[in-house]
Amino acid sequence: MKGSEFAELAAFVAVAQERNFRRAAARLGLMPSTVSHSLRALETRLGVRLLNRTTRSVSPTAAGEQLLSQLAPAFGDISRAVETVNDFRGKPTGTVRLNMPRLVALGVLAPRFGEFTRTYPDVTLEVTVEDALVDIVGRRFDAGIRLGENVGQDMVAVRVTPDQRLAIVGSPAYFRERAPPRGPLDLKDHRCVGYRLSTGALVRWEFERGEEKHTVAVNGPLVLEDSELMRRAALDGVGLICTMESHVTEELREGRLVRVLEDWCPPFPGFFLYYPSRRHVPAALRALIDMLKV
């Protein structure tokens, strides 16, 4: 196989998997125009259309799906074979693509950016922040970070935080206007900032104390999809929020936020870095795991 033919096939696999020319080009370290030219050359050479393209989406045709099903495993084997060379390097190299919620990116990964990049200057971390659960295999991520309860059993999971607790918090100004709730059912009389999932569903607040459990559908003047915006809303006195205790530790210590219903928020397993089970883990990913694991 000629080098140009291999490059065309590599471009096709990247675009078909990423469903986006720009992301595929970034993955290959090429310009989008170069990738587009390679795809056109491949389709001309094979005499068949492999991708359906619109201004908003890219998807494989039936012929493209068939070709991808044959090529993807082969390119995966090549990638893993090349990655084994890392074991003979002085330091890991390459790109590690990660997916995680914003709260985790800020609290777990961001504090280690400096240390990791100084220790492993030949490794590039590519971080995508999404609160919604995603298929890291289908989206071509090397690993994700999620709560342990959300990690599939077919994944290898490594703990990266201690146990976590939820915290119901509001500002001192908010509590000057109304008495703190004594129990979960009192939340019906309070303004609460809602959190909407990417599926469109509003998150219900869950409480547990001993054998007693409550799930509360809260109401309030604001519904958000971002944990940092929720924290800002609580600080501004908009209402109560339900968030990770670790996300508001400093505000609680300084008295800028006040915690309520603490005895109704028991600890639970925290966040885990997870990745597909496979025989050979890339050296760059291993280096990140070793730095983050607790």
Query: What separation in angstroms does the CA of 147 have from each of 5, 103, 239, 243?
Result: 43, 11, 26, 13
* Mean pLDDT within 35-48: 90
pLDDT score for 152: 86
pLDDT score for 132: 82
Asked if pLDDT for residue 251 goes beyond 60, the answer is yes
Q: What integer best gives the mean pLDDT of the chain? A: 89
pTM of the model: 0.68
Over residues 101-111, the pLDDT tens digits come to 988 999 999 99
Asked if pLDDT for residue 58 goes beyond 70, the answer is yes
Over residues 210-230, the pLDDT tens digits come to 999 999 999 999 999 888 999
Helix, strand, or coil (residue 90):
coil
> In the chain, what are the domains?
3-79 (1.10.10.10), 89-163+270-292 (3.40.190.10), 166-264 (3.40.190.290)
Asked if pLDDT for residue 121 goes beyond 90, the answer is yes
Helix, strand, or coil (residue 42):
helix
Over residues 190-201, the pLDDT tens digits come to 999 999 887 788
pLDDT score for 278: 65
The residue type found at 183 is G
